[in-house]
Structure 1
């Protein structure tokens, strides 16, 4: 990946398209946003694959991420709380949490930061009637 200096940040060209990165949201994605999005989407993607293999009837999944940063340490990310909102039929909370644990152990982004950022996960279930 090559990043090129621009007036208000950096730009890179990726297979999917152009990515602008800046400390100012007017000119691109902020680095912490990209990190949080990477952790949440990696975790969600692995979780989804596990649920599909188990034939768990998931109609929709949303991930809400909240971030705690330490202003005294360069605004360092200290904690990311991920809430997985799962909509489906006949969902078993215990089975979902076991699958999420497996996903956590297989998500490269979570594993990459697990010793420096606290990652907390919870699940909200929305049961759909048939």
Structure 2
């Protein structure tokens, strides 16, 4: 990966386009936003694959991320709370929580920050009718 200096941050050219990174939201994504997006995106993707393999009928997964940062330590990310809202059919919350735990163990982004960022997960299910 090659990153290039630009006037108000950095940029990288990826297969899906150019990504601008800046401490100022007017000029690109903030680094902490990319970190949180990587964790939520990885976790959600792994979770979805597990649910598909088990043929769990899911219409949608929404992940809400609440971030706690420490201004005393360079605004370091201390905690990320991920709330999963699962919309689907014949949902078994106990089975979903077990699958979420499996996805946590298999998400490279969560595993990469273990011990430095506290990751909390919760879930809400919305049962859809046929």
Using the alignment, how far apart are the partners of 2:59 and 2:3 within structure 1? 38
SS across alignment from 1:80: strand
Using the alignment, how far apart are the partners of 1:124 and 1:46 within structure 2? 18
SS across alignment from 1:47: helix
Using the alignment, how far apart are the partners of 1:69 and 1:5 within structure 2? 26
Q: Which residue of 2 aligns with 1:43?
A: 43
Using the alignment, how far apart are the partners of 2:93 and 2:11 within structure 1? 42
Displacement of 1:129 in angstroms is 1.1
Normalized against structure 2, the TM-score is what?
0.99
Q: Which residue of 1 aligns with 2:122?
A: 122
Displacement of 1:114 in angstroms is 1.1
Q: Which residue of 2 aligns with 1:88?
A: 88
Q: Which residue of 1 aligns with 2:33?
A: 33
Using the alignment, how far apart are the partners of 2:84 and 2:65 within structure 1? 9
Displacement of 1:48 in angstroms is 0.1
The unaligned stretches of length 5 or more in structure 2 are: none
Using the alignment, how far apart are the partners of 2:6 and 2:88 within structure 1? 45
- CA offsets, 1:23-59, max 9 Å, x none? 0000000000000000000000000000000000101
The unaligned stretches of length 5 or more in structure 1 are: none
Superposition RMSD in Å: 0.4
Aligned residues: 130
Using the alignment, how far apart are the partners of 2:114 and 2:44 within structure 1? 16
